[in-house]
Structure 1
Amino acid sequence: MRTKDVSVTVIGSGDAFNSGGRRQTCFHVNSSTITFLVDCGVNTLQGLKSNGLSASAIDLIFISHLHGDHFGGLPFFLLEAAVTKRTRPLSIVAPVGCKKKVEKLASLLYPGTEILSKLDLHFHEYSSDQPFMVRGLEIIALPVIHKLETKPHGMKIKIDDKIISYSGDTEWTPVLVDLAKDSDLFICECNFYKKEIKGHLNYKTLSQHLTEFRCKRMLLTHLGDDMQDHIDQLEVACAADDLKISI
């Protein structure tokens, strides 16, 4: 039996510098059984509230890698959860070392509050190349090419009979083709139009590989000024803050 549609709201589609006034990376996904975020940039709480989405209803947060514009919103998200006395369990799926970094960041930003200890909080670390289950979701996390110290991963998330895949931040790698295969939605970073910066993808490179992708829909994200200036020249749809998609 076909399940109900899964809804995706783009909370943030920009880069670390909020280019074009866009929020940092975050995607809100809702199904009949679970609600989760993919990445949690610093503007995440503001973006959720602007879209009328409840932070307290979120069951799970995926973090692709340990750069601030992808996990820096966690201390604020968790602080609000603690202040509002959230009792609902919250799972965070992230690269190795995320828990310690979040603890240190929360302590630095809000000393003396002991945010994490007040929550029913569960951290899960990626097991690269092998499918694993968290909160009823099947996940495959694959290493991609970005700053090594951030432990970068792309991911494929199976929700009932739907698949959402996400590149995380990366330069071109054939892993992207594997991530996108059979996905209902593949969200792919494309920071630049033609500028070549190590660890990030540009559209000129991506366009040379478009025929290799086997996904129902592709959406480009993490858009810098260079990409935003060329949006009308692209063959692939781009994410925009507050965009809503059903898959």
Structure 2
Amino acid sequence: MEVSLRILGCGDAFCSGGRSNTSFYVSSPEINFLIDCGATTLLALKKYQIPTGDIDMIVISHMHGDHFGGLVFFLLEEKKNKRKKPICIVCPVGMDEKVKQAVELYYPGSSTLSELDIRYVFFGSHQTLDLEKIKIESFPVVHSQETLPHGLRVTVGDRVIAYSGDTEWTDELYALSDRADLFICECNFYLDGGPNHISYSTLKTKKLTCKRLMLTHMGEEMLDNAESVEFEMAEDGMVINFPKN
């Protein structure tokens, strides 16, 4: 089965380098979905002419606004469009309440999503969800623990896309990325710059077994040192095609 991934945003929380917040659009003949839905996602979908109505599922790694804040605008767009088909949101426990709170905070007293058929599927750590047309495995990672951070391993057909989410280095990433067709790994810092995120100086010492590694969520320091980075670096708008085996 042919699978394609479009990078809607690969920036950090501060849109370093003018990059949009994190979101990846994965399309296949059987299912279309987002991995993360940062605050700028609706803008990116319209920029790349991807109809919101084509998206069947949204998978969220953790509860920081640059990874889930775009859900509010996506859902309000679908309300405006009178969407009838269900939208599935796969996420950490409690995301449904966070979305309700965010809608009320952004548009107090004026908006309700009750017209939409939103179906939440929650995951915990080391859980496998065998959903229709897709399998999702969750791995606990090391980030702000209040956000319930997870890395995600998504299988579509015979293709595996692994995604670190936001995290400092953890050995969970070995199993997460093992033999994945693509491992999208956050790399916020170039040198060791602080907790909660991976640095390039750390990542380059690890022996990963993924077939392809691509860095994302890069801060200004990483971008300033791009010429000396040996790994592939994501770019907004990039398309990665996985041909049929």
Matching residue within 77, 90, 93 for 2:90:
93
The answer to whether structure 1 residue 54 and structure 2 residue 40 are counterparts is: no
Q: Match for 2:127: what amino acid?
A: Q
Match of 2:231 in 1: 236
1:88 Cα deviation (Å)?
1.5
Unaligned runs of 5+ in 1: none
Match of 1:129 in 2: 126
Matching residue within 4, 7, 14 for 2:11:
14
- Quickly say closer, same or farther: Cα 1:216–1:104, change in 2 above 3 A: same
Match of 2:105 in 1: 108
Match of 1:152 in 2: 149
In structure 1, distance between residues paired with 2:53 and 2:112? 15
Q: Match for 2:210: what amino acid?
A: C
Match of 1:45 in 2: 42
TM-score of the two chains, using structure 2 as the length reference: 0.96
1:114 Cα deviation (Å)?
4.1
Match of 1:178 in 2: 175
Counterpart secondary structure, 1:158: strand
Aligned length: 242
1:75 Cα deviation (Å)?
0.5
Contact persistence 2:161–2:182 (CA under 8 A): yes
1:118 Cα deviation (Å)?
1.1
Match of 2:240 in 1: 245
The answer to whether structure 1 residue 213 and structure 2 residue 205 are counterparts is: no
Q: Match for 2:208: what amino acid?
A: F
Instruction: State the identity as a percent.
Output: 46
Counterpart secondary structure, 1:92: strand
Q: What's the Cα RMSD here?
A: 1.0
